Amino acid sequence: MKRYVMACAAVLVAALAVEPIRHTCAAQNAKVRTALGGFNLFSTEQDIQIGRQSAVAAERQMALLGVPGADRYVNQIVERLRPCAPGAKYPYAAKIVNAPDINAFALPGGPLYLNRGLIEATRSEAELAGVIAHEMAHIALRHGTTSASNAYLGKTGLGLLGGLVGKRGTTSANIISVVGGMGLNATFLKFSRDDEHAADGVGADMMARAGYSPLAMADFFAVLRQEAGRDPSTVEMFFGSHPPAVERESRVRQLAGTLPIAQSSDIGQHQQLRTMMAAKTMASTRSGIWPAPVSTPNPPVSAPATP
């Protein structure tokens, strides 16, 4: 699998300056373009189509919180971070899952999901923004479809790949069909350790440019370690799909010391979010990252772009 390095965020540091958020974020996008060039058989438009279709499958299996004010607030944070995300202008949108375990996940092209238990574990808007920025970074860096592309290459080999890429009859559905047994959903959620570190680095940079201290991301990793000591079951799925929190905390603290933070104030509804969620009965079961990855029918999306 293609390896990503955390240096993708460090490349940006020399160009950083404390300016209005919209200017610093625009400057970032030009600087990180080379970090987005991993092997990928899908176009960015297909990322969006696949994400929408996968979201439909996911939401059939999850209990969404369904509190408009709560979803509105987390999406205000998404909108604040959006101009700071590198690469394509994806339609990022977040929904809250009514599940008590601490977890979150992102699908290609824009959808991201935050478990209620994770939100309740955050102590500030900045800590919540750190989780959201990390998930948005996975989308921006195209980790989901890169994972599927590498799985496809591993099953077909370079010879077959050379005969398919660029042909109009080759659809992303063909590629997903070959990946097959892994399960569509599982393929798009399978990130490497280096993917996770890259998402931490780019997410921390996004936070700083949007006016949040990246130290809040590191602080939340400390919260996760403490929670694991109190009730390991609440973070079981998180630690099953992410590198150790202590390792990530150390990396982000080191990076945060190099990132100037744009001047801004919080949106300021973090406590209200907790109040809104408290008014909704908690789901009785833990969700995991996605209760049971299902084999979704081949999505009817267009052929990959010709290189």
**pLDDT band (50, 70, 90) for residue 284:** low
Question: Does position 141 have pLDDT exceeding 60, yes or no?
Answer: yes
Q: At CA 143, angle to CA 235 and CA 53, rounded to 5?
A: 90
pLDDT number for residue 307 = 37
How do strand 111-115 and strand 104-106 relate by DSSP bridges? antiparallel
Environment class of 162 (CB within 10 Å of its CB; exposed 0-12, middle 13-18, buried 19+): exposed
Predicted confidence (pLDDT) per residue in 11-41, tens digit: 222 222 223 344 456 555 434 443 565 788 8
> How many Å apart are CA 2 and CA 143, to the nearest integer?
10
Q: In degrees, to the nearest 5, what angle opens at C-alpha 116 toward C-alphas 111 and 118?
A: 90
User: pTM of the predicted model, to two decimals?
Assistant: 0.77
Three-state secondary structure readout of 102-148: CCEEECCCCEEEEEHHHHHHCCCHHHHHHHHHHHHHHHHCCHHHHHH
Which one has a higher pLDDT value, 296 or 139? 139
In this prediction, residue 53 carries a pLDDT of: 83
